[in-house]
Every structure is written in C-alpha cells, then in structure tokens.
Amino acid sequence: MTISAVSKKKRRTSSTSQMKDEEARNWADLPSELTYLILIRLSGIDILDNAQKVCRQWRCVCKDPSMWQKIDMRSRIRNERMLDRLASMCRHAVDRSQGGLVEIHVGSFASDDLLDYIADRSRNLRSLGLGMCFPRATNPGLVDTITKLPLLETLEVSHSCLILDFKAIGQACPQLKTFKLNSSGRFWSSRNFRNSRNDDYYALEIAESMPELRHLYLYGNKLSDIGLNAILNGCPHLEHLELHKCFKLKLVGDLEKRCYERIKYFRHTNK
C-alpha cells in the first residue's frame, strides 16, 4: 500500500470517527423543546431505563413534570420477579408528575398498594388502564382506588384473573364515559383462575351502573343478546360500541338493526 493510500485511509477513518462524535454531540445539543417532543413519545419504562441516561440535558428534560402527565408502563412480563421492580418504577414515574398525572396504563403488575399510591397522588386522573394477569390487585382495592378519582372518565381492564364487581365500580365512578374490558386470558384457565363471569353478569352490571357511557369495548366477553339489549337500554348515551370474540351473541330479530340505528359506530366481529 502506498503512502498516499495509507494517508487516504487514515483520513477516512478520522472522518468516520469525527462524524460519530458529531452525531453524539448533536443529540445532546438538540433544543430542549425538540428533545421534549421526541422523549414524550416513549413509554415510562423506556425513559427511566434508557433515555434519561443518555446525557445531562436529556435527564433534565425527563425530570420535567409535564413529561409525566401521561404514563404508559406496559411491559412484557417474563416472570413474576419483574413485578416489584416495575411497581417501583411506576411509583417513581407518578412522583415525577407532581400531581399532574391525567392518564396512566399500569400494565400487568397492578396491586392494591400501587393503585392506592397512584390515587393518593393523582386526584386529577382521568384515564386508568390495568392489566390484571397476576392476582396482586383485588376487587375491593380497585373500587377503593376509583372512589378516590372523581374525575375518572376512562377505565380499561385487560386479562383479569379476578371476578370483578362492575356494579360497585360503576357506582364508584358515576362519570365514566369510556369502558374497555378485555376478558381474554386463557393462559390463566390452566391455573384454575376464571377470567370472566358466565353469560350476562358483566353486561347487566354495566347496564345498571354505567349510564353515562359513550364508548364501550368488550373483547372475549360472554354476553348474549339479553346482555346486549340491557346495555342498549341502560346506556342511553352510548355512541361507540365494539364487540369482539363475543361468541354467545346471535343478534337475532331486529337487535342488529337496533344497534346500527342507535349507535353511531357499531362493530361486531368474531376475530
């Protein structure tokens, strides 16, 4: 290799190294407003585990209470040893909101203690999402939490291994506008958990105690035409209704027509 070739190779190597250094500096030198817009798209776990460790400026942005008005703590839980760590991270995220939290999805590590912690520090909360695969939260604990959240308008419960009392939940949250219930969770059936009540219990409780609902999503629920009729009668303001994998629904007679005429957006699939 000639001296000229060696010199060119060194220049290329030096140039590549310089570009990498500049890229690293560029991330740190971004205006704080732009950094904020980038980081706010991340989940709470990504921010606490990774983003805030990139540089001092990013850490400062990540500590801004406005970054924590909406918190998504959902994560794939590989084993139960992760639950306590995720719960600790969630508490830290709630603390960073300094009372400004309006929306949170806790994921599948919810417990009575954690829900109580959130409610005591987030009285302005409007949206609560829970994955309840692990039996750490109880029905009374959930009701007590909701009672402390007078502004709550959206509740999402997924894969619950508990038989929940939605009548009590609805009474504790009279302003509930959006309710999402995913009753799937066959994983738990092998562990002797029941993931939903039979037939129309849930539907009748929803109809009786959630009259202000505008949006209702049921996935894997066991309601029949009787339960659906009860919901239509008991939720007069319902505008958006989605029913997925509710295999007991037959929509006989004029029930399907009634749904399309009454509901602005109605969708029923078995997929």
- Helix H, strand E, coil C: the string for 245-259 is CCCCCCCCCCHHHHH
**Alpha-carbon gap, residue 223 to 204, rounded angstroms:** 9
pTM: 0.81
- Residue 185 has what pLDDT? 58
Domain boundaries, the chain: 65-269
pLDDT of residue 26: 64
pLDDT value at residue 12: 54
The percent of the chain in helix, strand and coil, each rounded to the nearest 5, is 50, 15, 40
Q: Check residue 239 and give its pLDDT.
A: 97
- Which stretches in the chain have pLDDT values below 70? 1-28, 78-79, 132-135, 160-162, 185-198, 271
C-alpha distance from residue 124 to each of 76, 98, 127, 217, 236 (Å):
28, 11, 9, 24, 27
Residue 186's pLDDT is what?
44
- How far apart are alpha carbons 251 and 52 in whole angstroms? 52
Instruction: Look at residue 173 and give its three-state secondary structure.
Output: coil
Q: Between vectors from CA 206 to CA 259 and to CA 249, what angle results, nearest 5°?
A: 45
What is the CATH architecture of 65-269? Alpha-Beta Horseshoe (3.80)
pLDDT of residue 95: 96
Would you list the DSSP string of 17-30? HHHHHHHHHHHHHS
What is the reported pLDDT for 262? 93
The predicted pLDDT at position 14 comes to 52
